[in-house]
A and B are shown apart, each in its own frame.
Chain A
Amino acid sequence: DTEVTQTPKHLVMGMTNKKSLKCEQHMGHRAMYWYKQKAKKPPELMFVYSYEKLSINESVPSRFSPECPNSSLLNLHLHALQPEDSALYLCASSPKGLGAYHSPLHFGNGTRLTVT
């Protein structure tokens, strides 16, 4: 079982809906990440939070809005998505914040998002 928990596992939403993806870890990790993965492609980094502060935004459209309420939780708020945003959204965490050594990422199982 993965130690990074993502909910929901599957999500179908219309282009006018507002929904949120949730990610939780209780390993005391200080950096949390959102990745987007299209079918048969590698994951692409979207956002990184380090010590609960947004540290990296890889020029992601504003219809994706991340939030880190505390060190254990990471949300991704979705609004007015497009069908091309359909993908697997992966959350990850790493023990140390950015600026430390390159620690391995611990990934969740992902949320498979379909935008209709």
Chain B
Amino acid sequence: AQKVTQAQTEISVVEKEDVTLDCVYETRDTTYYLFWYKQPPSGELVFLIRRNSFDEQNEISGRYSWNFQKSTSSFNFTITASQVVDSAVYFCALSEGYGNNRLAFGKGNQVVVIP
């Protein structure tokens, strides 16, 4: 069964629009970590955020913000005032339990920002 679901495959937005990427996860562990990574066309995955299961505080970093809701098992990511440089594939990932650091990735969201 898929542990991380990112439903929207490709999302196109016009520059300066906001875009929200949905991530729904599934786990039976009480301790887990959620991540978002960005993969630009150059190939490397860039770490954006890590959130543990005990910290439901939302976070804002510049134009990026994250909304973690344990009640709905969601960890959504919003890009505000999108820019062309935001065009990339964004992966949500889950790491469960203690210390094996295995990441279960979602299928990714291809974000295309149109100038």
* A→B interface (CB under 8 Å): 2, 4, 31, 40-43, 45, 48, 56, 88, 90, 92, 94, 98-110, 112
Contact B105 A42 (CB under 8 A): yes
Q: Which residue of B lies closest to A55 (CB)?
A: B100
B44 smallest CB distance to A (angstroms): 5
- Please pick, from B37, B103, B106, the residue contacting A45 in the complex, using a CB distance under 8 A: B103
Contacts of B35 in A (CB 8 A): 104
Q: Which residue of A lies closest to B10 (CB)?
A: A40
Main DSSP-derived SS at the B contact region: loop
Q: Which residue of A lies closest to B95 (CB)?
A: A102
Map CB proximity to A onto B80-115 as digits: 1 under 8 Å, 0 otherwise.
Answer: 000000000001000100111111011110100000
Pair count A-B, CB < 8 A: 60
What count of chain B residues pass the 8 Å CB interface test?
24
Does any Cβ of A come within 8 Å of B61's Cβ?
no
Contacts of B30 in A (CB 8 A): none
Q: How far is the CA of A102 from the CA of B102 in the complex (A)?
A: 9
Contact residues, B31-61 vs A (CB, 8 A): 33, 35, 37, 42-47, 50, 52
